[in-house]
Structure 1
Amino acid sequence: MRKLIAFDEDTFAKLTQLGRDRMATIQELADEAFADVLKKHGIPIDLRDALRKSAAPSRAATPGKTRSRTRKASS
């Protein structure tokens, strides 16, 4: 799928320079940025990530060990 995204001139120049420095294309930089946003919000990036996430036990289903400390009353 092909979509267009507009950048202001300064941002585009900085992205172009970053691409040159890292020997990457603007597309590769965009792929990395969008993957980071999806990961930040807990959305699987690809099939492997989705399967890994679905196979992991949910925290609600398996309660973790919690310690509750009771304070000793001072006399």
Structure 2
Amino acid sequence: MRKLIAFDEDTFDKLKQLGRDRMATFQELADEAFADLLKKHGIPIDLRDALRKSARLGAEPDKPAARPKARKAKSR
């Protein structure tokens, strides 16, 4: 799917330079950026990620209630 995205000139120049420095295409930079954004918000990127997330949610045991910490006796 193709979408049109607008960048200001300075940002686009920096993205082109980053692509040159990393020997990556603009598409590869965009794919990485959007994958990072989805990961940041906890949205699975592909089926494999969705299955991993699902397995983790089902495998987490209920956490026991936190025990209050023992107080230390004051020494005088």
Which TM-score band (shorter chain)?
Answer: 0.7 to 0.9
Aligned Cα root-mean-square deviation (Å): 2.5
Paired residue type of 1:10 = D
> Which has a greater percent of helix?
2
Superposition pairs for residues 1-75 of structure 1, below 5 Å?
1-57=1-57, 62-63=62-63, 66-72=66-72, 74=74
Point out 4+ residue stretches in structure 1 off by more than 6 angstroms.
Answer: none
Q: What is the TM-score of this pair, normalised by structure 2?
A: 0.82
With structure 1 as the length reference, what TM-score do the two structures score? 0.83
Q: Structure 1: state its 5+ residue gaps.
A: none
Q: Percent identity?
A: 75
Distance 1:66 1:51, change over 3 A: same
- CA offsets, 1:8-30, max 9 Å, x none? 11000000000000000111101
Letter in 2 for 1:17: Q
CA distance in 2, matches of 1:44, 1:68: 37
By how many angstroms is 1:69 displaced? 0.5
